[in-house]
Amino acid sequence: MTDTTPPRAPLALLVLLQGAVSAASLVVEIVAGRMIAPYVGMSLYSWTAIIAVVLAGFSVGHWWGGRIAAAASERALRMTGWTMVAAALATAGATPLLRATAGPLLQGLEHPLAAIAALTGAVFFLPSLFAGVPAPVFAVVAMRGRDRSEQALGAMFAAGAVGAIAGTLLAGFLFVSWLGSVATLAVIAAVYALAAAICFGLGRANRVQGAAVGAALLAVGGVGGVGLAIDPICDRESSYFCIRTVTMAEDVPDGPVRMMAIDHLAHGISAKGDPRVMFTDHAAMLDALPRMRMGGRDFTSFHIGGGSYSVPRAWTDRGIGGITVAEIDPAVTEQAVADFWFDPAGVRILHRDARAALAGEATRYDVVVGDAFTDIAVPAHLVTAEFFALVASRLEPGGVFAMNLIDNTGRLDALAAMVETLRASFASVEVWTEATTPGPNQRRVFVLLASDGPSPVGMVAARSPDPKRFAALDAGFIDAIVVRKAPAPLTDDYAPIDRMLGLEPILD
């Protein structure tokens, strides 16, 4: 039976409720990206999975809310109150659920995209589903018994949109950077709990129902307390990253040795006693190859990204000056100073995006070092023809651009695309890697040297941390790969680098 009696709730209160729930649900969506980043990184794939899961939850919730809205207004509001309790419980429990399920899911699903989708769905589908229920209920209740029901409906839709905007801004500019992800979810759980209490009040819940509601809300507080009590996975949660310092060795000759983890990946390893030793192949090559090209003389350099500042620290120790580092996150620099023995004195640090920093001034450098490739998360704007042209314009004559790259030896799609794209701006593009025969389908670390001429040698030795030899691949071999793959140069308009790096098991 359709309820046509005038609503007990003032329209303004329903509008406020709708806006608050909508804002809270968008905060959860934004925080979801930060929450899963320490496990799977933050990439096109992670955000695609998050948006898809959240929209799926909203869709099911809206459908369910439409069915609830068919009941009498007070009963519909009480039922909605229970879904808000469920939303509060699911949101408060997201942190412990993520900790419990991340390991088994990531270990059980080999493909990274399947793991991202499964983890996101397991943790954030239910909070979105329950948060999607109130919108149709509030809209129907607001319209019932009003002379201008169409205006009420418009007000409810507008409240949802404004709430979504407010939630997005609050998450990005306030909650995550000031409270952190876990505390933000606790706040959102409290918002849902308050919305539940208001719904029960508007629905005229009796004493028995009120007692049950009180018990449920106490449970929400308990679950939220568990989430807040869990040791944080991040040492520092900035506006950009989850940053951790991991001690890898303590009682060693050059120790301690520490690793900086940003989100789910290592972004630098340093030893206190010897800043010149590198602990990864790509860092060893990014340190040794530019110095080889400069022939032992002093030179100026621009570094794309700081991380643990291992290479700038090593070059400073060698007496090399004129170092500029573009690190977008000030918290990363602070962590490098606090935990990785980096002395910023004498190093020019720009806390800006590297591309914007290069474009913003006409300074020329002898060396530009790019460390953009990590896993399946690559800043696409730092691997395009337009960016490489900008880098070329910022190099002194005889200067060199050194960038790392990780690719699968069974495909080499990314390598071919990078070489083809770099050749549009540089006369010489060399590909360096460890001087060993790679295995089939091996994830291989490369460094590309782009300049106006070839290197004087084809092999160098460096510590990584044990002594290793790195060699330039034969130019004919690289040409054959490029011809076989026939890649289109990457541009600001079209740079599918994520697909090149992340979908080998699906496409093979």
Give the tens place of pLDDT for each residue, 305-315: 999 999 999 99
Are 229 and 316 contained in the same domain? no
Closest of 478, 359, 9 to residue 202, by C-alpha: 9
Task: Kindly tell me the burial class for residue 11, based on how many C-beta atoms sit within 10 Å of its own C-beta (0-12, 13-18, 19 or more).
Answer: middle
Query: How many helices and strands (H and E) does the chain possess?
Result: 19, 13
Model confidence over 449-467: pLDDT tens digits?
A: 999 999 999 999 999 999 9
Closest of 72, 95, 314, 292 to residue 202, by C-alpha: 72
Reported as half-sphere exposure (CB side, CA atoms, 13 A), residue 346 has a value of 13
Give residue 377's pLDDT band: very low, low, confident or very high (50, 70, 90): low
Give backbone dihedrals phi and psi of 296, rounded to 5 degrees, phi first: 85, -5
Sheet holding 236-237, edge to edge: 236-237, 242-249, 257-262, 265-271
Residue 295 inside a domain? The answer is: yes
Residue 407 inside a domain? The answer is: yes
- With 80 as the cut, is the pLDDT of residue 398 above it? yes
Are 221 and 79 contained in the same domain? yes
Are 502 and 375 contained in the same domain? yes
**For position 504, what pLDDT does the model report?**
42
- CA dihedral (297, 300, 304, 305) in degrees, to 10, reads 90
Residue 123 inside a domain? The answer is: yes
CA 278/CA 61 separation, integer angstroms:
52
CA 91/CA 50 separation, integer angstroms:
15
Model confidence over 8-60: pLDDT tens digits?
A: 578 999 999 999 999 999 999 999 998 998 888 777 788 899 999 999 999 99
Give backbone dihedrals phi and psi of 144, rounded to 5 degrees, phi first: -65, 130
Cα–Cα–Cα angle for 11, 14, 20, rounded to 5 degrees: 140
Alpha-helical segments (H) within 203-309: 207-229, 281-294
First-to-last CA distance in the chain? 57
Residue 348 inside a domain? The answer is: yes
70 within 8 A of 139, measured Cβ to Cβ:
no
257 within 8 A of 249, measured Cβ to Cβ:
yes
214's CB contacts (< 8 A; 6+ apart) are none
- CA dihedral (274, 277, 280, 284) in degrees, to 10, reads 150
CATH number at residue 288: 3.40.50.150
- With 70 as the cut, is the pLDDT of residue 5 above it? no
Are 285 and 211 contained in the same domain? no
CB-CB neighbours of 291 under 10 Å: 19
Domain that holds residue 411: 280-507
Are 417 and 477 contained in the same domain? yes
**Secondary element (H or E) of residue 443:** strand 443-451
Of 234, 249, 271, the residue at which a domain comes to its end is 234
CA 502/CA 508 separation, integer angstroms:
12
Are 43 and 185 contained in the same domain? yes
- With 60 as the cut, is the pLDDT of residue 3 above it? no
Are 329 and 188 contained in the same domain? no
Q: What is the DSSP letter of 8?
A: S
Mode of pairing for the β-strands spanning 365-370 and 347-350: unpaired
Report how far Cα 350 is from the mean position of its chain's Cα atoms. Answer: 21
CATH number at residue 53: 1.20.1250
Residue 262 inside a domain? The answer is: no
Model confidence over 101-152: pLDDT tens digits?
A: 998 988 888 777 788 899 999 999 999 999 999 999 999 999 987 778 889 9
Residue 183 inside a domain? The answer is: yes
323 within 8 A of 317, measured Cβ to Cβ:
no
Are 168 and 293 contained in the same domain? no
Give residue 357's pLDDT band: very low, low, confident or very high (50, 70, 90): very high
Model confidence over 426-439: pLDDT tens digits?
A: 999 999 999 998 88
144's CB contacts (< 8 A; 6+ apart) are 3, 4, 5, 6, 7, 73
Residue 257 inside a domain? The answer is: no
Q: What is the DSSP letter of 488?
A: P
CA 120/CA 55 separation, integer angstroms:
12
Q: Domain count of the chain?
A: 2
Residue 327 inside a domain? The answer is: yes
For the chain, the 3-state helix, strand and coil shares in percent, each to the nearest 5, are 55, 15, 30
Are 227 and 301 contained in the same domain? no
Query: Is residue 465 reached through a cis peptide bond, with omega within 30 degrees of 0 on the bond before it?
Result: yes
Of 198, 218, 234, the residue at which a domain comes to its end is 234
Are 225 and 328 contained in the same domain? no
Model confidence over 154-195: pLDDT tens digits?
A: 999 999 999 999 999 999 888 888 888 888 999 999 999 999
- With 80 as the cut, is the pLDDT of residue 381 above it? yes
Are 69 and 152 contained in the same domain? yes
CA 166/CA 118 separation, integer angstroms:
28
Model's pTM, two decimal places? 0.84
Are 305 and 163 contained in the same domain? no
267's CB contacts (< 8 A; 6+ apart) are 260, 261, 305, 307, 308, 332, 374
- With 60 as the cut, is the pLDDT of residue 508 above it? no
Of 234, 267, 299, the residue at which a domain comes to its end is 234
Give backbone dihedrals phi and psi of 456, rounded to 5 degrees, phi first: -75, -20
Give residue 376's pLDDT band: very low, low, confident or very high (50, 70, 90): low
